[in-house]
Structure 1
Amino acid sequence: MLRTLVGFGGFGLFWGAWGASLPAVRAESGVGDGELGIALLMVGLGALASMRFTGYLIDRYGGVVLPVVVVLFGLCGVLPAFATDVVTLSGALFLLGVTSGATDVAINATGSHAEAVTGKPLMNLAHGIFSVAVVIASLGTAALRTAGADALPVLGGVGVTIAVAAVVVLAPGSRANLQASTEPKSKRRLEPVLLVFGGLCALAYVVENAWQSWSAVHLDTSLDAAPGLASSAPAVFAAAAATGRIAGNALLRRLRPVQLLVAGGIIAAAGSIVAATAGSAWPALIGIGVAGLGTSVCAPTIIGMTGAWAGPERRAGAISTVTTLAYLGFLLGPAAVGAASSAWSLPVALGGVAVLALLVAALGPVAARQSEREPTTFQS
């Protein structure tokens, strides 16, 4: 359990610091907004390139993969601070994406394995720790930037912290360590159930990243909120997500995963409708928080259901497949909202996000029927 929570905490620590450091990275590399947008695409491409392969490596070699990829992630997280133009920044962000995608798969596989070993829920708590770390790192980095720190000491300090944690805490040796698989290669195939889990998780990520990316813009442009109030929207969403995941982990001692998933989708839809149709900033901000509470439990619950279904011999490979498909939703969500906003309006586009959240709730029982093939259950 400790390895899982430390892994997710380190992952959130970096991405919280990264978001707050991005203006410094942009300025120090000398790129414009368009060039920065192109460079940022490399993060997603790198992640997509590594996620499936990482699942294979974990199934083949076991838990030794986790500390290796986390150390590489910590080191590559510093590279953008050395970029001097769009080419070097793009290269640095591609490597960051490769190691980020690998780390994402490794920590989720470790968490799913810990759930199976202990018989107790963990994934929502782990994702909640990620959200808490994002908020803490964002605020800490903002304070350092206010004091005059540039990108290198911030990203360097976070990178060293992550690497040290990987060596000290995440290194193999505990009984919770992932085991290498002896499953014949002929059984390693893409099964339809993984498409169900992956598609459902992608929908959940579309909802999540749509509000994370567009909430501040919605308050600013649609509702004419003051700059300070508008800029607080992503932090409100992240804080609500952390609360929802930690609470959701406790609720799984009393609820079945599908019940939490359905409830989360309905709550996310309700919050999305309130935020999209609000006539002023404060009701919209409340709706954003409610949407964060609801959508926060969806993806971790689906990933946990995937691991329970797959069993020990192919758990990492199954999770890597689902997270790869889900990551497509994470990447395409903000772009889809932008396209819909151009065609209609931003409130209409964000109202469509509520429909997707309801779809997650409606399709949750379908995924549950697939997961019933695995006998693993949660115990209080």
Structure 2
Amino acid sequence: MLRTVVGFGAFGLFWGAWGAILPAVRTESGVDDGELGIALLMIGLGALVSMRFTGYLIDRYGGIVLPIVVGLFGLSGVLPALANSAVTLSAALFLLGATSGATDVAINATGSHTEAESGRPLMNLAHGLFSIAVVVASLSTAGLRAAGVGALPVLGGVGVLIVALAAFVLAPGSKRSGFANSEPTAKRRLEPVLLVFGGLCALAYLVENAWQSWSAVHLDTSLHAAPGLASSAPAVFAAAAATGRIAGNALLTRLKPVHLLVSGALLAALGSLGAATAGNVWLALIGIAAAGLGTSVCAPTIIGMAGAWAGPAQRAGAISTVTTIAYLGFLLGPAAVGAASSVWSLPAALGGVAVLAVVVAVLAPVAGRIGERPKDV
């Protein structure tokens, strides 16, 4: 459990600091908004390149992969602060994305393995701790930025901390290495059932990132909220997500994963619809919080179900497949909302997000039936 918690915490610390320090990275690298947008796409491209291969490495070599990829992630996180052009920033973000994708697979595989070995729920708690780490790092970085601290000290400090955690907490040796079964696995193929888990998780991530990315804009443009109040929307969503994941982890001691998944998706649908159609800012914030509570438990629960289905010998490979497919939903969510809003309106587009949450709830029993039939290995 320690390795899972520390891994998710380290992951959240970086991405919380990154969101707050990005304006400084933009200024210090000398890029404009268009160049920054192109460079940021490299994060997703790098992640998609590395994720499935990381699953293979974990299934083949076991727990030693976790500290290696987390350490590389910490080192790569410093590179954007050293960039001085659009080209060097794009290259740095591609490496960051590749190590981030590898870390994402490794910590989720470790969490799923620990969950299966202990028989106790863990994935929602781990994802909740990630959300808490994001909030803490974001606020801390904002304070450092207010004091005039630049990108290199912030990202360098976070990088040193992550590398230290990888070396001294996540390092293999003793029972903490995990993945008792690290023998070579059979020839790999794309299992159709993983497409079900991956597609469902992609929809969940699409709902989640749509609200994380567009909630402030919705309050600002649709409801004409004051700038400070509008800017609080992502924090409200993140805090609700952290709360939902920790509570969801506790609920899994009494509920089947599929029941939590259906309940979370329906709450996300109600919250999304309420926020999209709200007539004032406060009702919208309540809806955003409900959407955060509901959608927060969906992706961790689906990933845990996929890992339980795959079994120990191919768990990491299965999770890498599911998270790679799911990551497409995470990347496409904000863009899909933007495209829909240009055709109709932003409230209508966010109302469509509620429909997708209903789809997750309707399809969840399919994943539940699959998850109850462990893979023969």
* TM-score, shorter chain, exceeding 0.5: yes
Residue 330 of structure 1 aligns to which amino acid in structure 2? F
Contact kept, 8 Å, 1:61 with 1:179, in 2: the verdict is no
- 2:99 alignment partner in structure 1: 99
Give 5+ residue unaligned stretches, structure 1: 376-380
> How far apart are the structure 1 equivalents of 2:183 and 2:12?
33
| Structure 1 position 280, deviation (Å) | 1.3
Post-superposition Cα deviations, 1:45-75, rounded to whole Å, max 9, x if no partner, equal: 0000000000000000000000000000000
Q: Tell me the distance in 2 between the aligned counterparts of 1:147 and 1:372.
A: 53
Pairs within 5 Å for 1:129-278: 129-176=129-176, 177-186=178-187, 188-278=188-278
Kindly state the Cα deviation for residue 282 of structure 1 after the two structures are TM-superposed: 1.1
Whole-angstrom distance in 2 between the partners of 1:52 and 1:214: 29
Distance 1:23 1:183 in 2: 45
Alpha-carbon contact 1:61-1:180 (below 8 Å) kept: no
The answer on whether the counterparts of 1:66 and 1:106 sit within 8 Å (CA) in structure 2 is: yes
Q: What corresponds to 1:316 in structure 2?
A: 316
Whole-angstrom CA distance in 1 between matches of 2:312 and 2:136: 34
Q: Secondary structure at the match of 1:224?
A: coil
Q: Displacement, 1:172?
A: 1.1
What's the offset of the Cα at 1:14?
A: 0.2
Cα deviation digits, residues 77-97 of structure 1 (max 9, x gap)? 000001111000000000000
CA contact under 8 A between 2:340 and 2:349: conserved in structure 1? Answer: yes
Q: Which residues of structure 2 form unaligned runs of 5+?
A: none
- Give 1:33's aligned amino acid: D
Percent of pairs with identical residues? 79
Deviation at 1:279, TM superposition (A): 1.1
Task: Determine if the alignment matches structure 1 residue 115 to structure 2 residue 115.
Answer: yes
User: 1:179 Cα deviation (Å)?
Assistant: 3.2
Does residue 69 (structure 1) correspond to residue 72 (structure 2)? The answer is no
How do 1:292-371 residues align onto structure 2 when only pairs under 5 Å count?
292-371=292-371
Amino acid at match of 1:101: G
- Contact 1:275–1:287 (CA<8 Å) still a contact in 2? yes
Do the aligned partners of 2:106 and 2:316 also contact (CA within 8 Å) in 1? yes
Counterpart CA distance in 2 for 1:370 and 1:238 is 30
Normalized against structure 2, the TM-score is what?
A: 0.98
Shift of 1:183: 4.9
Matches within 5 A, 1:18-57: 18-57=18-57
Corresponding residue of 1:5:
5
Name the aligned partner's letter for residue 99 of structure 2. Answer: T
Distance 1:240 1:166 in 2: 29
How far apart, CA to CA, are the structure 1 residues paired with 2:136 and 2:114?
26
User: Displacement of 1:296 after TM fit?
Assistant: 0.1
Letter paired with 2:2: L
1:38 positional shift = 0.1
Looking at structure 1, the residues matched to 14 and 181 of structure 2 have their Cα atoms a distance apart, in angstroms, of 28
Residue 170 of structure 1, CA deviation:
0.5
Deviations 1:308-352 (A, max 9, x none): 000000000000000000000000000000000000000000000
Contact 2:209–2:333 (8 Å) recurs in 1: yes
Q: Which amino acid aligns with 2:236?
A: V
State the TM-score, normalized to the length of structure 1: 0.97
**Aligned equivalents of 1:7, 1:370: Cα separation in 2:** 28
SS at match of 1:74: helix
Q: Retained in 1: the 8 A contact 2:185–2:313?
A: no
Q: What residue identity is the alignment partner of 2:89?
A: L
Letter of the structure 1 residue corresponding to residue 199 of structure 2: G
**Aligned-partner residue type, residue 241 of structure 2:** A
Alpha carbons 1:63, 1:180 under 8 Å: kept? no
Aligned to 1:16: 16
- Tell me the residue number matched to 2:80: 80
Pick closer, same or farther for the CA change 1:229–1:174 going to 2, 3 Å.
farther
Find the residue that maps to 2:312 and give its secondary structure: coil
Alpha-carbon distance change, 248 to 26 in structure 1, aligned in 2, over 3 angstroms: same
Identify the residue that residue 378 of structure 1 maps to in structure 2: none
Equivalent position SS for 2:170: coil
Secondary structure, aligned partner of 1:42 = helix
Q: Which string of whole-angstrom CA distances, capped at 9 and with x for unpartnered residues, describes residues 98-129 of structure 1? A: 00000000000000000011000000000000
**Contact 1:16 1:136 (8 Å CA) reproduced:** yes
